[in-house]
Amino acid sequence: MYFRLFSRLIIPAILACFLIALPASAQDADAVWQQENDAAIAAFQNGDYANAELHMKKALKRAEALGQNDWRYAMSVGDLGAVYYWQERYDDAEPYLKRGLALRQEQPGLEKAAATSAHFLGQVYYSRGDYAAAIPPLAQAVAIREKVLGPDDGTTLDSLDFLASARASAGEYTTAIPLFERLLAARTRSAGADSIEAAAVHDWLGVSYEQTGDTRKAAKHLIRANEIRTKLSGPDDPDLAWGYAQLARVYEAAGKPKEAERAFGQELAILEKVNGKDSPHLLDTLYRMVDFYRGQGREKDAATVERRIKATPGGAASASNDPGTDLTNMLGAMAAVGQKNRETEDAWNKATQDGQAAYAEKNYEKARERYAEALDLSRLILLADSRVAVSYNNLATAYWGLGQISEADVNFLQAVDLGAGTPEMNPAEMKVILGNYASFLRAQNRVKEAESMEARSAAIP
């Protein structure tokens, strides 16, 4: 149970003036872009993400008329990614956030917007549990925001919070601790030493110090977090139970069984008040108490807790001790997973073939639908090797056929990135992806980028 505290409001920056005059056609496109962009922001602020997405897509389409080197195009690409993020459509958000970040970094005056894209891209990876991938964009967001907004700005601290949490979640506790210490000092200055924000950082420091073997500091921070929560919410706050559970583990590791037993008792007392003495929500604590008592050689106490577990709905004294039964269950589960995976692979093949047939007939909308379905299926396949990258490539070609340039661009880019990062990627398929993207880039007069893709393709044996 970790406590995330960050703003859910993102308002794209709007520049007040232009350094150069736009031609009449661009001015018309700009007026429409501004109207759609404002409508998207208004819908977003009202929590109407569906309409925010609709208007942002229209703004992006208008921005294309201004050219992909225009700052409005960079804003619309990144902001559409943010809208997808808030709908928890992380797979849709990722390519737009990545493309938006790259575009915003190239535009003077869009530093804050670039940091926003980097932050949300990091959060996409964080939300998926891919903490190692989350670290670079979050570090980038912190660096930009510190420089532009200052070290104590709220958004800077939000990025620092996620960066520290990502490092800890990735097992990089020694590098996470200085970040958390710095965050704690900032949260104390901005919200107060007895704030819930400070308590959340104390929690993370307690866990991080425990993982590095410093049980003294771990206990210090966990105790402080519980003191704050008790002061703010009273002694029966359910979140206190988590703190006592961590304390029990720390004290047990430190060789302090009396303190560990007391922490177990405090955890259990809170859970009983909140859920009732016969609630299945107590089982995790009770199982850990059995292990603790057995580790101390207190078999009688362990047996007493086991009897309580048996009397609790959903409880059992222990798992089956029959290795044959465990193996049979495991093999049965593996067979079921394998069968499901084969069915998903067959469905992917069918959707891809249908998409290819529709594309050959220049029915690009049908191709887009079937390729999108194939992409969703590819993410469900175990050891999907090249299929996810291939699916993004196929979907990009369908968008290109429909004339939806921005959608084609981000999907091609995702195909290239995923293909390059997939060890099992078929070299021939990678050459096709790079060649397709190069052709697309040349069609958009992005010659240098096209040449880069062609060079990468030529380097593949």
Q: What percent of the chain has pLDDT over 90?
A: 52
Cα distances (angstroms) measured from residue 323 to each of 4, 280, 326: 41, 26, 5
Residue 333 inside a domain? The answer is yes
Cα distances (angstroms) measured from residue 259 to each of 225, 255, 256, 413: 17, 9, 6, 55
Q: What is the pLDDT of residues 267-305, one digit of tens each?
A: 999 999 988 999 888 899 999 999 999 999 999 999 999
Question: Looking at residue 226, what is its pLDDT?
Answer: 95
State how far the Cα of 41 lies from the Cα of 448, in Å rounded to an integer: 34
Query: Residue 32 belongs to a domain with what CATH number?
Result: 1.25.40.10
Residue 265 inside a domain? The answer is no
Question: Looking at residue 165, what is its pLDDT?
Answer: 94
Provide the domain count of the chain. Answer: 2
Residue 69 inside a domain? The answer is yes
Query: Of 90, 115, 131, which residue constitutes the final position of a domain?
Result: 131
Helix axes 405-420, 387-402, angle to 10 degrees: 160
Counting as low any pLDDT under 70, the low residues of the chain are 1-29, 316-339, 341, 382-385
Element (H, E) at 402: helix 387-402
Element (H, E) at 260: helix 257-275
Please classify residue 73 by burial: count the beta carbons closer than 10 Å to its beta carbon, then call 0-12 exposed, 13-18 middle and 19+ buried: buried
Question: Looking at residue 417, what is its pLDDT?
Answer: 86
Helix axes 215-233, 239-253, angle to 10 degrees: 160
Question: Looking at residue 30, what is its pLDDT?
Answer: 81
Question: Looking at residue 253, what is its pLDDT?
Answer: 94
Question: Looking at residue 66, what is its pLDDT?
Answer: 87
Residue 110 inside a domain? The answer is yes
Question: Looking at residue 23, what is its pLDDT?
Answer: 39
Question: Looking at residue 315, what is its pLDDT?
Answer: 77
Residue 337 inside a domain? The answer is yes
| DSSP single-letter state for residue 23 | P
Residue 212 inside a domain? The answer is no
Give the domain range for residue 75: 1-131
Place of tokens 């925001």: 145
Query: Of 106, 131, 156, which residue constitutes the final position of a domain?
Result: 131
Query: Of 85, 110, 131, which residue constitutes the final position of a domain?
Result: 131
6 with 196: CB under 8 angstroms? no
Residue 198 inside a domain? The answer is no
State how far the Cα of 206 lies from the Cα of 253, in Å rounded to an integer: 13
Q: What's the pTM value of the predicted model, to 2 decimals?
A: 0.74
The greatest distance separating any two alpha carbons of the chain, rounded to the nearest whole angstrom, comes to 87
